[in-house]
Structure 1
Amino acid sequence: MQKEQAIEMMKAFSDANSTSGFEEEFVKLFTETVKDLADVEVDGMLNAYAAKKENKPGRPVIQMDAHSDSVGFITQAVRPSGMIKFVPLGGWVKYNIPALRVRVRNRDGEYIPGVVATKPPHFMTQAERNTLPEVADMSIDVGSSSREETINDYKIDTGCPIFVDVKCEYNDKNGLFFGKDFDDRFGAGAMVAILDELKGEETNFNVVGALSSQEEVGLRGAYVTTRKIKPDLGIVLESCPADDTFTPAWLSQTGLKRGPMIRDMDTSFLPNPKFEQYVCDLADQNKIPYTRSVRTGGGQDGAAMYYENGAPTVVIGIPVRYEHSPYCFTAYEDFRNAVKLATAIIRDMTTERLAGFSKFN
């Protein structure tokens, strides 16, 4: 995939509206993007399956995974004032939410602009100036002046999804993307780029890319995709939080332009150590930069893939600054190196190597 093509793809992927349970806009975009590279189907949970066209019956299977949802919100109720009371979807921290520009999808499927309302400082008490409200006390304003207007005219009520409204940009001078929902649109883009790299190529394993739904609310889609695909090996393409702006250099394990992150641990996942070391050795052989990380928080679809089917699984993370916030940075070169590493694994994998990951010394 040419650089210009990849950049335009990632900008479109980032701009798509897709939060947990409401992934259809991005799933449609993904399936259109990958249809010439794979045989595609979508299930009732909005998980998408992209099977490499050269797959043959009876061969072992490598499942790639990326997730289609991002953090967002859902309408809980409409207040008497017409303001929207909302509930987060996924892992938000409350100080990233006030004054956020959003898009509310109403009952007719139209997108209504809004903002997480904040009281002007002119009207704040001293205590209010120094206190951040709880999410339950925040509201979204779409310009309405009454509950009736919001429900009847704007057609917004309980269950309407709410998306972050930020446009993705790419700066060619520094090679950085700036936008929203990079978790996990860059993993999804990497999956497309890998299938493009392998187009027309025979591999020892069948390759199936799974775009899993509802990761941000409990890895739900990945359990379903793994049960269906029954992989022998797993490659998770995740967008992972970078720590290079707030962690001492000796402890920082994920940063921009340092290569993809290979995850050794998080709260949901401990990988097969032989497969993990194989991936690192393969990266060294191919001169692909990477970092390794042991995380005391977080979780990702690798847990569902590994624990559901017992397939050795690696998490290849594309570093993202300020993940789970409205505004993120990520580097094109990290995206490309993640694609190179995953492609190298698929090309190098044999049944003998796979068997070695479960043997005792």
Structure 2
Amino acid sequence: MENKEFLEELSNYTGISGGEKKISKVIKDILSNFTDEIKTDTLGNLITLKKGEGSSADKPKIMLAAHMDEIGLMVKDIDDDGFIKFTTVGGIDQRTLIGQEVSVYGKEVVSGIIGAKPPHVQNKKERNRAIKVKDMHIDVGRGEKEVKDLISVGDLVVTEREFSELDGNRVTGKALDDRAGVTVMLECLKELQRLYHEADLYSVATVQEEVGVRGATTSTYNIVPDIGIVIDVGHGKMPGTSDEDTAELGDGSVIVLGPQVHPKLHEKLKETAEEYDIPYQINAETTPRGTDAFAVQVARSGIPTALISIPLRYMHTSVETLDLTDIKQAGRLLANFVSQIDSEFVEGLRCF
């Protein structure tokens, strides 16, 4: 499967944090073609293993991690007129919610829209501020009894948005954060079909990143890798953003530098990119929080960790936008990095 088709399928599927079962099956069906072992753990992480060709006694273990969950909504209440009150699952930009089409996953999938009091009937104070989630509602066009027969408190709600292509290699859709990272793992595994690698490679599609990096915490504790590399998205350049906080779409993935990144891994990734003429960018991130890298780094007694990010515009909206070229180049970078890792390199990570 080509990267674009895989990413499109992932984007169009629903997998809100805590409800990743369906998206996990899609990923499993594809990654199983490129790995030797695949399993789902108790929390729901999808863990694959591609065995290396080194001796069993001292083969390094490398873990790639990209989260498969997405932000979404959850039903909080149903009023006497059948309007649904909701809360957020993960960090949603509430300014983008008004007027969105949604699907409510109750006893059956129910279509609806997000509405709020229009400006015509707002008072002056209300017109001068953003509408909050508590003042919004989902309208499914049905009365109270019918709504309550189909929908219950706790049901998940997802914004309806079809993946689509823009000019060039740009695409847009929901949940590209971080289905793009999962697609990078697929590209890496495809590249490794033609490369020798000594290390065992674990590729993990983690759950519940958007609500506290929970899946990465448990899967890293289980695998205990010698090296952990997290693939996520970072902010792409757009009007109104600063150069130091963003990266150009199409200029390669970002090799992040910061306290959550082991300096020798950072240097090795840069050396690999330069050796194989793979474009890359550098961004400094001073806080380890916000991605699975935080969880991987502090697992057990500590794991040498690196972070690769794909430039993405309009993060945490239903129109996230990226360049497919960056996904392909990130996959090439990781595959060639994995092919160069041996026990001697891993031993050197313990010496600063």
TM-score calculated relative to the size of structure 1? 0.90
Alpha-carbon distance, 1:131 to partner: 2.3
Q: In the alignment, residue 118 of structure 1 is paired with which amino acid?
A: A
Alpha-carbon distance, 1:355 to partner: 1.9
How has the CA–CA distance of structure 1 residues 190 and 7 changed in structure 2, closer, same or farther, with 3 Å as cutoff?
Answer: same
- 3-state SS of 2:11 partner: helix
Correspondent of 1:125 among 107, 123, 127: 123
How has the CA–CA distance of structure 1 residues 253 and 132 changed in structure 2, closer, same or farther, with 3 Å as cutoff?
Answer: closer
Correspondent of 1:141 among 120, 139, 142: 139
Post-superposition Cα deviations, 1:181-202, rounded to whole Å, max 9, x if no partner, equal 1000010111112112213754
2:320 counterpart residue number? 328
Match runs of 1:177-196 below 5 Å = 177-196=171-190
1:70 counterpart residue number? 70
Q: In the alignment, residue 99 of structure 1 is paired with which amino acid?
A: G
| Contact 1:37–1:53 under 8 Å retained in 2 | no
1:151 counterpart residue number? 148
1:86 aligns with 2:76: no
Distance 1:208 1:239 in 2: 20
Correspondent of 1:290 among 273, 280, 283: 280
Distance 2:265 2:349 in 1: 6
- 3-state SS of 1:308 partner: coil
Q: In the alignment, residue 230 of structure 1 is paired with which amino acid?
A: V
Match runs of 1:10-49 below 5 Å = 10-38=7-35, 39-49=37-47
Q: In the alignment, residue 15 of structure 2 is paired with which amino acid?
A: S
Post-superposition Cα deviations, 1:185-233, rounded to whole Å, max 9, x if no partner, equal 0101111121122137541100011111000000000011101111000
Alpha-carbon distance, 1:293 to partner: 1.6
Q: In the alignment, residue 9 of structure 2 is paired with which amino acid?
A: A
> How many residues of Structure 1 are paired with residues of Structure 2 in the alignment?
347
The RMSD of aligned alpha carbons is 1.9
Instruction: Extract unaligned runs of 5+ from structure 2.
Output: none
| Contact 2:64–2:204 under 8 Å retained in 1 | yes
Q: In the alignment, residue 43 of structure 1 is paired with which amino acid?
A: D
Match runs of 1:214-229 below 5 Å = 214-229=208-223
1:162 aligns with 2:154: no
1:7 counterpart residue number? 4
Which has the larger displacement, 232-241 or 287-296? 287-296
Post-superposition Cα deviations, 1:50-108, rounded to whole Å, max 9, x if no partner, equal 111557744221011011101111111212221111111111232122222211111x3
TM-score calculated relative to the size of structure 2? 0.93
| Contact 2:60–2:342 under 8 Å retained in 1 | no
1:197 aligns with 2:187: no
Q: In the alignment, residue 181 of structure 1 is paired with which amino acid?
A: A
Distance 1:270 1:239 in 2: 16
Q: In the alignment, residue 158 of structure 1 is paired with which amino acid?
A: V
| Contact 2:71–2:175 under 8 Å retained in 1 | yes
| Contact 2:38–2:49 under 8 Å retained in 1 | yes
2:291 counterpart residue number? 300
Correspondent of 2:329 among 321, 334, 337: 337
- 3-state SS of 2:15 partner: coil
